[in-house]
Amino acid sequence: MPMTPRERWLALLNRQKPDRIPTDFWGTQEVRDKLIRELKCKDFNEVADRLHIDGVEHLGAKRLHDNHPDDPQANIWGVRHRAVDYGTGKYDEVACNPLADVTSVEQVHAFKWPDPHDCDWDDFGQRVKNLSGRKAVQCGGYEPFLLYCAMRGMEQAMVDLIAEPQIAEAIFEHLFDFHYRLNGRMWELAGGKADMTYVAEDLGSQHSLLMSLDLIRKFILPRQKKMADLARSHKIRIFYHTDGAARDVIPDLISVTGIEVLNPIQWRCPGMEREGLVRDFGKKIGFHGAVDNQRTLPFGTPQDVRNEVLENIRIFAWPTRWICAPCHNLQAVSPTGNVVAMYDTIWENGKL
């Protein structure tokens, strides 16, 4: 009897051989809408069924208040966004940085930080009850430096790590405290139904790390470890995301943070070659992604996509653990035929 998507994912996490290679979908709303339209489906659930996408269920808490008390046009962190049209869709870009002018730790503490418990917990409990049980459940997340950059401004955020470490520590601690208490409450109420959580930080550029290993070890890893330890105390697994050329930090992510799945495997970046990752880390972690969405999926042919998926099947051969997915969000420029080719190829060739 075929496994359910959840059974397939959990088998992989438990180092057991699933019936076939699991699959996942990452894509913008424009891509979802295009797939619904061009595949003549009523909704994205029908698209997922048509393409045999396992995917996951996302479990989160609904906020009672979505805006900052001092700025009704900003989110709970005081960050405003504006939609930027890039031709085939829109992205919400940061339009203001509420901590841009902060010059002291006292000002950091004086900021009106959001309350992690300002959530509709009755609604959350109902969401837990409504879980299908068919798909793996991802609950909670933690990606503080991305949020730090939005609140402080990216350039100043990078400067802070060297020139203003006390301010950096104060901001990081507030971000950590919020997510630690919010995640802890959700994981407690989930009652064992959450399978994994999303811990992330974009540590790699197209060519190298975005900051030194020393800075990552000082500002990023210690709190990641505490968050991951909390998750593990609830028997929740660590799904980790970092873009780009992150090869040099992977040993720390394994030994300190304790990641179990690494995403998205941008294998064209230096050091991220798939064979090397399998050789050096394949016995310790699983891999998620690895179908290139910067070149192959948007600009290749369906045959190019098929060839890459088949190549991944060979490189990530069992007992290496791999979840087939695009390496980050599909963009609307990717032809529907290429997306279909990816999922059809893994369906036809992914039995283990």
* Mean pLDDT score, 148-169: 98
Looking at residue 109, its pLDDT comes to: 98
Looking at residue 302, its pLDDT comes to: 98
pLDDT tens string 25-75: 999 999 999 999 999 999 999 999 999 999 999 999 999 999 999 999 999
Question: From residue 292, how far is each of 70, 75, 197, 343 by CA, in Å?
Answer: 42, 33, 24, 13
Question: From residue 99, how far is each of 108, 115, 157, 309 by CA, in Å?
Answer: 8, 18, 10, 44
pLDDT tens string 216-245: 999 999 999 999 999 999 999 999 999 999
Q: Is the per-residue pLDDT at 17 higher than 90? A: yes
Q: Is the per-residue pLDDT at 339 higher than 90? A: yes
Residue 2 DSSP one-character state: P
Q: Which sign does the torsion angle of CA 122, 123, 129, 134 carry?
A: negative
Looking at residue 323, its pLDDT comes to: 98
d(CA 333, CA 337): 11
* Mean pLDDT score, 283-294: 98
Looking at residue 87, its pLDDT comes to: 83
- Residue-range domains of the chain with CATH: 5-69+103-349 (3.20.20.210)
**Among the listed residues 348, 299, 295, 343, the one whose alpha carbon sits nearest the alpha carbon of residue 24:** 343
Residue 66: Cβ within 10 Å count: 11
Looking at residue 124, its pLDDT comes to: 98
**Among the listed residues 304, 313, 307, 309, the one whose alpha carbon sits nearest the alpha carbon of residue 335:** 304
* Mean pLDDT score, 135-151: 98
Looking at residue 88, its pLDDT comes to: 80
Looking at residue 93, its pLDDT comes to: 95
Q: In sequence order, which residues have a C-beta less than 8 Å from that of residue 243 and are 6 or more positions away? A: 202, 203, 204, 264, 266, 328
* Averaged pLDDT of the chain: 97
* Amino acid identity for residue 293 in this structure: N
Looking at residue 89, its pLDDT comes to: 81
Looking at residue 350, its pLDDT comes to: 98
Looking at residue 90, its pLDDT comes to: 85
Looking at residue 342, its pLDDT comes to: 98
pLDDT tens string 253-264: 999 999 999 999
Local structure of 289: helix, strand or coil: strand
8: tokens are 């397939």
The confidence band for 91, taking pLDDT boundaries of 50, 70 and 90, is confident
Angle at 180 between CA 95 and CA 243, to 5 degrees: 55
H/E stretch holding 46 reads: helix 44-50
